[in-house]
Structure 1
Amino acid sequence: SSQGVEGRSPLFDRSVIDHAFATPPGYKLRGTAEKWILKEAVRDLLPATVVDRPKSGMRVPVQEWLTGPLRDLGQDLLLGSRSRQRGLFRPETIRTWLKGEGTLLPRQGGKLWLVLTLELWLRSYDV
């Protein structure tokens, strides 16, 4: 018989996700504290250095991709005629993000990732 190991994040479990969507927003975000109710639930189980550490996230190097090997593709997708006709994105904002300029640094890569995936999703449904 074949055996293996599968890495899974408990926060992506379907029952956890369903519960998270049913939880009122005020419990998830308290002031600037994200995942507030989750942190309060485990505060007595984990050291404060773990519970209260700054968010690190799962960074995707989108900015590097879009200024390197995917530069032309990113510009075609987000500034091309199909995207412009849809009118969801401000072309000047997209141009600024693609250049790595503006006020969102260093979060522009994440924002570009969101608009790129939205654009690709819209195209996959021919919207």
Structure 2
Amino acid sequence: MIRELQLNNYQSRKIREINLKNAQKMMAFEAKHANNPSELEKCINGVCKERDVQLENLLSTAQYSQYYSFRKTLNSYDREYAMKQRRQDSKVASTLVAQDKTDAKRSFPAPKAAVIKETSLKN
């Protein structure tokens, strides 16, 4: 996208931020509406429309026209990226879960109880 639209550094940074936020939203919708494809599609289309508005405000007229002509392809890339991230996150989460009772045991000492000692004030 950066090369195709010949974005400057500011635009490139903002586009990355927008794309990351939208991918995170899509991942959240994927998790929330995994069993309801029609609702998921509606939510993802809403994210794409929101992105179009943000990009229209960021890009020049010529850049936005060029983006608009190939946005369906870019939106499909976004969806694939969100799904890939979700799969990757679930793999990481499964490795963090203890595999058996030995893994689940503490590897650090239990905290000791605090002892409060009274002292007398000397004048």
Task: Identify the TM-score tier after normalising by the shorter chain.
Answer: under 0.3
Higher share in helix:
2
* TM value normalised by structure 2: 0.25
* TM value normalised by structure 1: 0.24
Q: Which protein has greater RCO, CA pairs closer than 8 Å, 6+ apart?
A: 2
